[in-house]
Structure 1
Amino acid sequence: MTDRQAIEAVVHLYVEGMTFANEAALRKAFHPKCAVIGHYESAVEWSTRDEFIAAIVAEGSAPPGTQPHMDIQTLDVVGDAASVKVSDDFAGMRFTDYLSMLKIEGRWTIVNKVYYLHN
């Protein structure tokens, strides 16, 4: 598997984890020390991985059979660092996410997420 394919697989894991409130998938996609940052309900939200996952799980899963929306708009890789811009949906909202990724011990992981919530 190429680095690009491995990165795309982590992004798929992340989007499907959000769509179906899959805690295990989200824990696998995100580094334990990552931050999730963006404006939500008119305030800056700055969450740890665990706070983010708890919020996703509390919202609950999309109905079975839902096709997750995911559009990778850019994917840039240099060595063991990567940046991904992806459009996705969660709980009826459209987001643009900027994912910083790092290859650690041979495995790509999301180390930071900055998001924009579309109106």
Structure 2
Amino acid sequence: MSDQQAIEAVVHLYVEGMTFANEAALRKAFHPQCAIIGHYENAVEWLNREEFIAAIVAEGSAPPTTQPHMDIQMLDIVGDAASVKVSDDFAGMRFTDYLSMLKIDGRWTIVNKLYYLHT
């Protein structure tokens, strides 16, 4: 599998993990020390992985027939670092996410997520 394919697989894991409140998928996609940052409900939200997963699980899963929306708009890879811009939906909201990824021990992982919630 190429680096691009491996990165896209992690992004798919992340989006499906959010859509279906899949804790295991989100834990696999995100590094344990990652940060998730953006404006939510008129305040800066700055979460670690556990807080982010708890918020996703609290929102609950989309219906099983839901087709997750994911549009990778940009993917840039240099060595073991990558940046991905992806549009996705969660709980009826549209987000643009900037995912910083790092290849650690041969596996790509999300180390930072900066998001924008479209109004």
TM-score class, shorter? over 0.9
Q: How does 1:1-119 map to 2 (within 5 A)?
A: 1-119=1-119
Q: Deviations over 1:48-76 (max 9, x none)?
A: 00000000000000001100000000000
Q: Distance in 2 between matches of 1:83 and 1:64?
A: 30
Describe the SS at the equivalent of 1:39: strand
Q: Which runs of 5+ in 2 are unaligned?
A: none
Q: CA deviation at 1:87?
A: 0.1
Q: CA deviation at 1:4?
A: 0.2
Describe the SS at the equivalent of 1:63: coil
Instruction: Normalising by structure 2, report the TM-score.
Output: 1.00
Letter in 1 for 2:32: P
Describe the SS at the equivalent of 1:31: strand
Describe the SS at the equivalent of 1:56: helix
Letter in 2 for 1:66: T
Letter in 1 for 2:77: V
Percent pairwise identity: 88
Letter in 1 for 2:61: S
Instruction: Normalising by structure 1, report the TM-score.
Output: 1.00
Describe the SS at the equivalent of 2:86: strand
Q: Which runs of 5+ in 1 are unaligned?
A: none
Q: Distance in 2 between matches of 1:79 and 1:106?
A: 12
Q: CA deviation at 1:39?
A: 0.1
Letter in 1 for 2:13: L
